[in-house]
Structure 1
Amino acid sequence: MSIVVTSPIVDARPSPCQVLSVPASAGSHYLYRPLVTLTGMTTTTPSAPSPSSVPTTSKDPGTDNRPGRVLAAVLAAQFMALLDVFIVNVAAPTIRTDLHASGAGLQLVIAGYTITYAVLLITGARLGERLGHRRVYLAGLAVFTAASLACGLSQSTGQLIAFRLAQGAGSALLIPQVLSIIQRTFSGEARVRALGAYSAVLATGAAAGQVLGGVLVSADLFSAGWRPVFLVNVPVGVVLLVLAARVLPADGPSPAGRARGLDLPGLVLLGAAVTLFTVPLVLGEQEGWPLWTWLSLAACAVFLALFCGYESRLARRGGAPLISPRLLRAPGMGVAVFRLAAVMAVNAGFLFALTLHVQGGLGYSALRAGLTFAPSALVFGAVGLTWRRWPGALQRALVPGGFALAAVGSLAVGLLLRDGGDGGVGLYAALVGAGAGMALGFSPVLTRALATVAPQDAADASGFLATVTQLGQVTGVAVFGALFLGQLDAPEAPGAYASADALLVCSCALAAAAALGAVSGLVRMRR
């Protein structure tokens, strides 16, 4: 149920009602500028980018620019990158056994992809502006494919973590270009249909990842265990590289891209802050929270302050900061950042802990575990795609109601599984409720937050909130994963009962975090 959110489209400036929406699928997650309808607004087809803001697209004699093939190429890559987030979750227990990974190591395998993806997201989008979307798309796809091969051949937890970081870097180059290419290739009704196909990919990717991961791990192809969940990307990636090189339209740097720098100092400071924050969260519980973990968290605050100060000075000088301070002053942005981080943390922590329980505690096969999560993932996607069509009287209550539903669903899962059983039909009802609640706590918040920013900041705002959602997922895996594993390492009862007790404690913490999101929503609604 976790969501991966993509970066901004930086080659077109939308009108105020052309804000970004997330047709959210479960799991990680992608943010871009599909059409939205807010209360009191009408759905609007994005206008064609002006020549001054978009690099020219030329018909290269060596390419086949038929729109259908262009769409197939970019959406297949989008689907592959999305799949990779969820397919690894199902394989996590097998990876832990085969590589003798510690709990912290396993968390870094899951979260490492998201860390580099989150940090490099905005930079990847700007590289598309500066170098051309086609060129950066191909480079990102090549890096992702090569890193997938390396992941599948890894012989230790350390190697797998390193190559997962490289996978995230490849996605940060690849994914920001997808919708930019769609916007440049299609217009009018064709663009609406292309965005519909894009939304369908997002809505089905999570469920497909869970199920395919279960199939591949359970099949144990060539006695390779978990390795096919990474190696499956290699032939697909090679085919897409050949296809994309043939069909994607040639382009060049945009005038805006030449004018906007990459803000490398800001990138270094943000990367340091993120690393100093995530590493002690992931390793602290296992190491007994030694002094260095607290010093690292304190250093994170220092680097974050340095980052904010540098970004402010760069903005005052007329530069192009990685995150514009003006975004943080947009109405409701602070509350939106809290809500998005909270729902993503709950989402990622819930999925991580429950995956370990059903496979490690209940002994489910990877396939059965994937199928267990599929209804929740599909409901998450369906709610994310349809909430704008719900009655206007419900719109104001969607966010607090969604967080409350997520809290109830998370707690119900822990209670239903507390005796070491499978939870019966009630488990699926609780999972569906949790998935629907998390979708309502995510999509409306993101859409409305982006509606409040100035049109010229819409692209950077999407990148900023995309980074927030990714860091929320990292935090959720680290904090709630450490809580679950900490309870599991000191069991009072063996087997499924110890795992069920650990899950119940984790579910209570998840419900409390979701309740905080509900309270923040109620405060905002009164205002």
Structure 2
Amino acid sequence: MTTTSRTGRGPAPAPSTAISEAPGTDNRPRLLLAVVLTALFMAVLDVFIVNVAAPTIGSELRASGADLQLVIAGYAITYSVLLITGARLGDRFGQGRVHLAGLALFTVASLACGLSQGTTELIVFRLVQGAGSAVMIPQVLSLIQRTFTGEARVRALGAYSAVLAVGAAAGQIAGGVLVSADLLGTGWRPVFLVNVPVGAVLLVLGRRVLPRDGGAGPQAARGLDLPGLVLLGAAVSLLTVPLVLGQGEDWPLWAWLSLAASAVLFALFCGYESRLARRGGAPLIAPRVLRRPGMGLAVLRILAVMAVNAGFLFALTLHIQGGLGYSALRAGLTFAPTAVVFGVVGMTWRRWPASWQRALTPSGFALTALSVAGVGLAFRGGGDGGAALYVAYAGVGAGLALAFSPTLTGALATVRPEDAADASGLLATVTQLGQLIGVAAFGTLFLNRLESLGPLEAYTSAKALSTCMWTLAGTAAVGAVSGLVRRRR
């Protein structure tokens, strides 16, 4: 028997994947959601957890500055480059199977990172760890699209949004706690080893609850579009490598040439995919996904949210650890209000009055702009910011949640189940690129401003932070204006 989703847009998922509509009728979808969101949390955590551990890694392994950059950035490079490929593999071989394969690779690589005896080993295993994340993470959205419908899907997407951004702040907190604890004298190693028992449990549970079918619907027979994969992989590589390494190298000529080449390859990729679709082929991303109402605007908003989020965390970390001299633990705990409020708002915004829903995105960006500016004002004198600072932190969390969660939910609302892999890969890649752009752009602004002000001290660091926060506020304000644009029907 064929059923139709509440939205009336195509058939519901196959019988192998339950649809959670009535509470208490089937716990399998809930357990599936818990498994994939925990895996997502680990992957996002690993983007940020190493930042706090970097000084300890450098001293224990005698790593150079370039080595530390690659330890931190290597994960992000392979993660962002391979996300679209991971989505397509899930579409062809089954999201459940591919998610488990990626999770296994991520877990083994985490163990290898934690046991590394030198920087070369650690860099290589970080690259492998990022590849594992790129294989498993795109399947999360696809599995949510397949497994849930109606209000159950909205709730699942809300949880996805909360985990995605809370993981960024939680990475800083967890890194500070684990490094400061120095468990059994292991120093930095627990920031990687903590993934191993969690990954092992998820693999056992995942084999029980994740679908094991070969593919999700008619799109499973689509080829991998190898020329498209090569073009897109090269374009993303040429974009991400200078974004993560350019600042440390003082933005040399190769970085700018790489960025220019990435723009050319993106244009070639778009032209090739369009021609392939017109010939009746199977492009890497179905053009109808990009043409869905509101998808283009959603991509721009997600880029803005993730750039502001990553830039805010990065610049603030530099200030409170470098300028104010906070310990790794105290620096990590600083982000707790932002993370907690983001999670609460991301999980509850759908319960707010219906008359508010349309205004949530612009209001979220506006609140983010005001709160980020408030953080800059609180620190402007070089002090610790006082009690008002924590109100601003909470405002940043609430604003980012309101800007991100409704945008993501709206972008996926009109995507058909058979296009879930395309949308998952696209939005996951946009999310990662937004974070990289935020760190590169706002991190460069902070460091350049700090250098121009003279020797590092609390006051000069606060001045540099203030400039960065005002720029972040301006970016969020642009997002607020974009939020006023109604989605095309």
Q: Tell me if both proteins adopt one fold, taking TM over 0.5 as the criterion.
A: yes
2:93 maps to 131
Please give the per-residue CA displacement for 1:484-527, whole angstroms capped at 9, x wherever unaligned. 23334455243333332332222122122212212222355899
2:24 maps to none
Q: CA deviation at 1:137?
A: 2.9
Q: CA deviation at 1:75?
A: 5.0
1:390 maps to 352
Q: Which amino acid aligns with 2:365?
A: F
2:477 counterpart of 1:515: yes
Q: Which amino acid aligns with 2:214?
A: G
- Aligned pairs for 1:47-446 (under 5 A) are 48-50=12-14, 73-74=35-36, 76-95=38-57, 109-154=71-116, 159-178=121-140, 205=167, 208-242=170-204, 244-245=206-207, 250-253=212-215, 256=218, 258-446=220-408
Q: Does the 8 Å contact 1:407/1:511 carry over to 2? A: yes
Moved more, 189-198 or 439-448: 189-198
SS at match of 2:484: helix
Counterpart Cα distance in 2 of 1:95 and 1:327:
43
Contiguous gaps of at least 5 residues in structure 2:
19-26
2:461 counterpart of 1:471: no
- Aligned pairs for 1:494-509 (under 5 A) are 494-509=456-471
Q: CA deviation at 1:133?
A: 3.9
Moved more, 247-256 or 115-124: 247-256
Q: CA deviation at 1:194?
A: 8.3
Task: Label 1:457 to 1:132 Cα distance change in 2 as closer, same or farther (>3 A).
Answer: closer
Q: Does the 8 Å contact 1:13/1:455 carry over to 2? A: no
1:17 maps to 7
Moved more, 298-307 or 93-102: 93-102
Contiguous gaps of at least 5 residues in structure 1:
1-11, 20-45, 57-64
Counterpart Cα distance in 1 of 2:413 and 2:212:
32
Counterpart Cα distance in 1 of 2:345 and 2:152:
25
1:39 maps to none
SS at match of 1:424: coil
Task: Label 1:253 to 1:343 Cα distance change in 2 as closer, same or farther (>3 A).
Answer: closer
SS at match of 1:287: coil
Please give the per-residue CA displacement for 1:451-498, whole angstroms capped at 9, x wherever unaligned. 355675455234312221111111111221222233344552433333
Q: CA deviation at 1:339?
A: 1.5
Q: Does the 8 Å contact 2:103/2:133 carry over to 1? A: yes
- Aligned pairs for 1:1-12 (under 5 A) are none
Q: Which amino acid aligns with 2:227?
A: P
Q: Does the 8 Å contact 2:310/2:439 carry over to 1? A: yes
Q: CA deviation at 1:191?
A: 9.1
Q: Which amino acid aligns with 1:342?
A: A
Task: Label 1:329 to 1:240 Cα distance change in 2 as closer, same or farther (>3 A).
Answer: closer
Q: Does the 8 Å contact 1:484/1:503 carry over to 2? A: yes
Counterpart Cα distance in 2 of 1:246 and 1:453:
28
Q: CA deviation at 1:71?
A: 6.3
Q: Does the 8 Å contact 1:55/1:253 carry over to 2? A: no
2:442 maps to 480
Q: Does the 8 Å contact 1:93/1:356 carry over to 2? A: no
- The structure showing larger relative contact order (alpha-carbon pairs under 8 Å, at least 6 residues apart) is 1
Q: Percent identity?
A: 73
TM value normalised by structure 1: 0.78
Q: CA deviation at 1:77?
A: 3.3
Q: Which amino acid aligns with 2:433?
A: L
Counterpart Cα distance in 2 of 1:306 and 1:55:
38
Q: CA deviation at 1:356?
A: 2.3
Q: Which amino acid aligns with 1:277?
A: L
Q: Does the 8 Å contact 1:133/1:177 carry over to 2? A: yes
1 or 2, which has the higher helix percentage? 2
Q: Which amino acid aligns with 1:226?
A: W
SS at match of 1:289: coil
Q: Does the 8 Å contact 1:111/1:477 carry over to 2? A: no
Counterpart Cα distance in 2 of 1:288 and 1:153:
32
Task: Label 1:483 to 1:110 Cα distance change in 2 as closer, same or farther (>3 A).
Answer: farther
Q: Which amino acid aligns with 2:182?
A: D
Q: CA deviation at 1:80?
A: 3.0
Task: Label 1:448 to 1:128 Cα distance change in 2 as closer, same or farther (>3 A).
Answer: closer
SS at match of 2:334: helix
SS at match of 1:216: helix
RMSD, aligned α-carbons: 3.8
Please give the per-residue CA displacement for 1:180-229, whole angstroms capped at 9, x wherever unaligned. 66787899999999889878866865565443322211111233322210
Q: CA deviation at 1:311?
A: 0.9
Counterpart Cα distance in 2 of 1:325 and 1:152:
42
Counterpart Cα distance in 2 of 1:17 and 1:190:
12
Moved more, 181-190 or 320-329: 181-190
Please give the per-residue CA displacement for 1:406-445, whole angstroms capped at 9, x wherever unaligned. 1222222122123322111111111111111111221222
Task: Label 1:282 to 1:459 Cα distance change in 2 as closer, same or farther (>3 A).
Answer: closer
